[in-house]
Amino acid sequence: MQRKAVRYVTSSTAAAGTIATAASSVAAAALAASIILSPAAAASSRLDGVHADLARAVQLNQVTEEQAARFEAKLAGRILEEA
């Protein structure tokens, strides 16, 4: 009798893990679809975000001001090229 109880607990725990994994996969797919299907932000808005992110990185000493300026210029060229 104890063997059956252990098997039941093990199999039901595995099933719960599978259901949780499936649910998180569905949620991830829904999020990805919403990102893909949402309209792209305007170039100026994207550049403002890049500038703010790089300013924060400089403030946290993650990059130098020169590195940030070069990277921002490179991204600006790509963003404006897409627009």
Q: CB count, 10 Å around CB of 83? A: 11
How far apart, in whole angstroms, are the C-alpha atoms of residue 83 and residue 80? 5
- What does pTM read for this prediction? 0.51
Q: Is the predicted pLDDT of residue 43 greater than 80, yes or no?
A: yes
Minimum mean pLDDT among 20-34, 42-56, 68-82: which range?
Answer: 20-34
What are the C-alpha distances in Å from 33 to residues 20, 22, 26, 28, 40?
Answer: 20, 16, 10, 9, 13
How far apart, in whole angstroms, are the C-alpha atoms of residue 64 and residue 38? 33
Residue 71 has a pLDDT of: 95
How far apart, in whole angstroms, are the C-alpha atoms of residue 21 and residue 15? 10
Q: Is the predicted pLDDT of residue 41 greater than 70, yes or no?
A: yes
